[in-house]
Structure 1
Amino acid sequence: MILELADIRIAPGKQKEFEEAIERGARSVIARAEGCRGFKVNKGVESPERYVLQVFWDTLEDHTVKFRGGPLFAEWRAIVGPFFAQPPVVEHFTLVAKSGEN
């Protein structure tokens, strides 16, 4: 399993609208992508314009090739892209250790 971690910064004062958009986009677009096993969105406490999106993929290619190279990516960006203050920083991770359900 691959963890996609996207560090997202949005324009100040747009938190409520962005939170609605990112949840709608993740549930209606990302969740339909091949190899997607779920997602989480967290909001910064100290930096309320910062969000971390975690998407769990079967393979790296499910995200980088199939999703980003397919029509769902444009649909996703149309929903959340207008809120971005800068391009998100996206990296991929593999699991090393785990505790509990988180």
Structure 2
Amino acid sequence: MILELADLRIQPGKQKEFDEAIARGVRTVISRAEGFRGFKVNKCVETPERYVLQIFWDTLEDHTVRFRGGPLFAEWRAIVGPYFAQPPHVEHFTLLTKSDEQ
């Protein structure tokens, strides 16, 4: 499994609107993508315009090739893109270890 970690910075004062948009975008668009396995969205306490989006994929290619190269990506960006203050910083990770509680 691959973890996509996206560091998102949105325009000041748009948090309430973005909260709705990102939840709707993941649930109605990204969740339909091949290889999608789940997600988490966290909102920064100290910097209210900063969010961290975690998406779990079966393979790297499910995100980088199939999703980003397909029509769902344009749908996703139409929903959340207008709120971005700068392009998201996105990286991919594999699991090394985790706690027993998770």
Verify same fold: TM over 0.5: yes
Mapped to 2, the partners of 1:11 and 1:75 lie a distance apart of 20
The aligned counterpart of 1:27 is 27
Separation (CA, whole Å) in 2 of partners of 1:98 and 1:48: 28
- Provide TM-score, normalisation by structure 1: 0.98
Task: Give the CA RMSD over aligned residues.
Answer: 0.4
Match of 1:47 in 2: 47
Runs of 4+ in 1 over 6 A off after TM superposition: none
Give the unaligned 5+ runs of structure 1.
none
SS in 2 for 1:93: strand
Structure-2 residue corresponding to 1:89: 89
Q: Gaps spanning 5+ residues in structure 2: where? A: none
TM superposition shift of 1:71: 0.2
Distance 1:43 1:21 in 2: 13
- Residue 64 of structure 2 is matched in structure 1 by 64
Among all aligned residue pairs of Structure 1 and Structure 2, give the percentage whose two residues are the same amino acid. 82
TM-fit CA distance, 1:32: 0.5
Q: Which amino acid aligns with 2:81?
A: G
Q: Match for residue 37 of structure 2?
A: 37
Question: How far apart, in 2, do the equivalents of 1:80 and 1:90 lie?
Answer: 15
How many residues are treated as equivalent by the alignment? 101
